[in-house]
Amino acid sequence: MFFHTNNVMNVTNALKDYEVVFLAALAGMDKEDKVKFVVHLAKYMAPGVLLMLRSAHGARAFLYPVLDPCDLRGFEVLSVFHPTNEVINSVVIARKYAMPANSLEEGLGPIMLPNNNKFLKLTFRNVLLDISMGQGLI
């Protein structure tokens, strides 16, 4: 097992060689930076690779920028854990989609959803939220 520490924006094609990528809680000091990192990772990570990132929830968001599951375009959210003790950071585990999951922001092409019934409803809800421009249909 090998661990490498690097600026995520400096790593491109080499990301395809890893099975798990960890994104630190302090990677990016605001939400826009974190989303930019996720877009970069989605572009270069191999399909099926796991992304483990740290976020915050509730009042803890005053200390760390929050990255919501809906910000993880290109990834299937597998688990989100918000601690209730003295631990500050939430943990989000996601998997890079094996195929693209399009949104209406990318044009009116076919919408491909992951073939996993457990997460299909969550993904479909995200698509409905995109269609309704944030107002939500569900």
What SS3 string covers 26-43?
A: CCCCCHHHHHHHHHHHHH
Same domain, 30 and 85: yes
For residue 65, the enclosing domain spans 8-98
Q: Are 38 and 67 contacting, i.e. CB atoms less than 8 angstroms apart?
A: yes
From first to last of its 138 residues, the chain has per-residue pLDDT tens of 677 778 888 888 988 888 999 888 778 778 898 899 999 999 999 999 999 988 877 776 667 777 888 889 999 999 988 878 877 788 889 999 986 555 555 544 444 444 443 333 333 333 333 333 333 333
Same domain, 40 and 89: yes
Same domain, 117 and 69: no
pTM attached to this predicted model: 0.65
User: Can you give the pLDDT at residue 78?
Assistant: 93
**By three-state DSSP, how is residue 12 classified?**
coil
Same domain, 36 and 93: yes
User: Can you give the pLDDT at residue 41?
Assistant: 93
